[in-house]
Every structure is written in C-alpha cells, then in structure tokens.
Amino acid sequence: MVEECELRGRFGFMAYHGGGLEETTDVIARAAAQASGASYYGVVQPASLQRHVPSIRVTRDQSPVLDEFLDHVDVVVTIHGFGRRGLFTSLLLGGRNRELADHVAGHLRPALPAYRIVDDLDHIPVELQGVHARNPVNVPRDAGVQIELPPRVRGSSPLWWDWEHGLVPHTEALIAALTRAATAA
C-alpha cells in the first residue's frame, strides 16, 4: 500500500480505498484536488492486495500523514466505490456535512444527467451513509461528504471495457463537477 498526501487548501479530497480495491477513487480524488487547489489524501492498494478496512477503523493515530491531513483541512469530500444491484446508476452523498452534500449534489446533477444523485440520507442504505463520528470524513472541523460511486461512473463497468482513451467521459465529467464544487465552496 502507498499512502499519498498533498497539502494545499483547507478543502480536502480523500480516497483511502484506492488502487485495486475501489478502482479509480484515488484518481478522481487526486485530480479534483489538483484542479481545485484542494488538499489530497489517498491510500493506493495494489490489485493483488484488495484489503478493505472499514472506514471507522481508518484512524489518525495509525498514520502521521493522515493526522497531518485531517489537521490541515476544514472540510473534506471522501471518494468511495460501491456496487449494489438497483443502484448502479446512483451516486450516494453521505457524511455529516449536509449543507456541503447539497452543494456538491447541485454541481453533480447537471454534469451527470444519466445518474441519480442521492443526497437524502433517508434514501441511502445505512451502511453507506458515512455518518459515524469515527469515520474520517467526519473528523475535520466542519466534517464532510462521503461519496459512494458505482462502477460505471468510475469507468469500471462492462459499458467501458473497450474504452482506450484514458478516463471515460463520465469520470471526466465527475472530476470537473467536483472541481467546480470545491472551488465554489
């Protein structure tokens, strides 16, 4: 596993299940952070490892780098991947900062019209809501938003198996919308 951190602005993006585990999440978080001048923290796993550590077990006392990142940012958007029957075209916006979730959703909806942007916690499965106090998305001063992304928007579904031109258009549109949301926050 490789831990990555780039400290810039007080807005942050995280992806601590990146690499081979939740494919493209680290790429999305890193690109949105770079484009918006935000800070970035990620953990990139090789495809051969694929060890899922539950979010509430990712703690600052285990990593001086994560600790420094969480101290630096005021608010964060954490990028996760998921796949669940009936939700393959849904982006789920959890986390405790509901005002930021609404703000981010407002940027995602026009950019990704083929997807359902779900920012109402009552319509997000409990285990994907990201509202536990120990979840790293809720640790910064103003907490944050946990975004669960299905495979299609990350370019990891059969729809994109023959795509050979870098990131798929849906992923590019997602990064651009996240960049606008971070810049306007």
32: domain CATH number is 3.40.630.100
**In which domain, by residue range, is 109 found?**
2-184
Using one digit for the tens of pLDDT, what is the confidence trace for 108-118?
Answer: 999 999 999 99
Arithmetic mean of pLDDT over the chain: 94
Using one digit for the tens of pLDDT, what is the confidence trace for 24-61?
Answer: 999 999 999 999 999 999 999 888 777 777 777 788 99
Give the model's confidence band at 88: pLDDT under 50 very low, under 70 low, under 90 confident, else very high.
Answer: very high
Q: Is pLDDT above 90 for 135?
A: yes
| Residue closest to 171 by CA, chosen among 145, 152, 184, 157 | 152
The total domain count for the chain is 1
Report the distance separating Cα 138 and Cα 145, nearest Å.
8
Q: How many CB atoms lie within 10 A of CB 122?
A: 6
Contact yes or no for 137/12 (Cβ under 8 A): no
Report the distance separating Cα 144 and Cα 21, nearest Å.
22
Structure tokens at 170: 């849906």
